Amino acid sequence: MSSTPSRPPVLALVDANNFYVSCERAFAPRLEGQPVIVLSNNDGCVVARSEEVKALGVAMGAPARDIRELLRRHRVRVFSSNYALYGDLSARLMDVLGRFAPRVEVYSIDEAFLDWSGFPEDGLIEYAREMVGTVRRWLGLPVSVGIAPTKVLAKVANRIAKRRKVPGGAVALLDADGQAEALADLRTADLWGIAGRWSAKLEALGIDTALQLRDADPPFLRSAFGVVVERIVYELRGIPCLALEEVAPPKRQIVASRSFGRPVVELGELREAVAFHVTRAAVRLRRQRSEAGGLQVSIGTNPFAPDDPPYHGHCTVELVSPTADTRVLIGQALRGLEAIYRGGYRYHKAGVMLLSLTSADRRQGALFQPGDPARSQRLMTAIDRINHRMGRGTVRFGTEGFGHGWAMRQARKSPAYTTRWSELPRVD
DNA sequence: TCTGGGGTCCTAGGACCC
DNA sequence: TCTGGGGTCCTAGGACCC
CB-strand contact A58/C, under 7 Å: no
Per-residue pLDDT tens digits for A155-179: 999 999 998 877 779 999 999 999 9
Report the relative pairing of strands A36-39 and A77-79 from DSSP bridges: parallel
CB-strand contact A40/B, under 7 Å: yes
Mean pLDDT of A178-193: 96
CB-strand contact A348/B, under 7 Å: yes
**Amino acid identity for residue A417 in this structure:** Y
- Residues 108-147 of chain A within 7 A of strand C, judged by CB, are 108-111
Residue A2 banded pLDDT, cuts 50, 70, 90: very low
Residues near A78 by Cβ (< 8 Å), separated by ≥ 6? Answer: A36, A37, A39, A64, A71, A412
Measuring from the CA of residue A226 to each C1' atom, give the nucleotide at the shortest distance.
B10
Asked if A173 contacts A153 with a C-beta cutoff of 8 angstroms, the reply is yes
Per-residue pLDDT tens digits for A398-427: 888 887 888 888 889 999 898 888 888 888
CB-strand contact A249/B, under 7 Å: yes
Residue A349, pLDDT above cutoff 90: yes
Predicted TM-score (pTM) of the model is: 0.92
CB-strand contact A192/C, under 7 Å: yes
Q: CA A219 – C1' C4 distance (Å)?
A: 30
Sign of the alpha-carbon dihedral angle for A394, A398, A400, A402: positive
CB-strand contact A351/B, under 7 Å: yes
Q: What is the mean pLDDT of chain A?
A: 92
Q: Which residue has the higher pLDDT, A3 or A92?
A: A92
Edge-first strand listing for the sheet containing A11-16: A104-108, A111-115, A11-16, A143-148, A170-172
CB-strand contact A205/B, under 7 Å: no
Measuring from the CA of residue A15 to each C1' atom, give the nucleotide at the shortest distance.
C18
Q: How many CA atoms lie within 13 Å of A246's alpha carbon, on the beta-carbon side?
A: 7
Q: Which pLDDT score, from 0 to 100, does residue A389 have?
A: 87
User: For chain C, which bases have at least one atom within 7 A of a protein Cβ?
Assistant: 14-18
| Helix H or strand E segment including A160 | helix A151-164
Residue A284, burial from CB neighbour count under 10 angstroms (0-12, 13-18, 19+): middle
Q: Which of A2-16, A109-123, A273-287 has the lowest mean pLDDT?
A: A2-16
CB-strand contact A196/C, under 7 Å: yes
Q: Which domains are present in chain A?
A: 11-172 (3.30.70.270), 176-236 (1.10.150.20), 254-400 (3.30.1490.100)
User: For chain B, which bases have at least one atom within 7 A of a protein Cβ?
Assistant: 1-11
Measuring from the CA of residue A228 to each C1' atom, give the nucleotide at the shortest distance.
B10
CB-strand contact A47/C, under 7 Å: no
Residue nearest C17 (alpha carbon to C1'): A193
CB-strand contact A82/B, under 7 Å: no
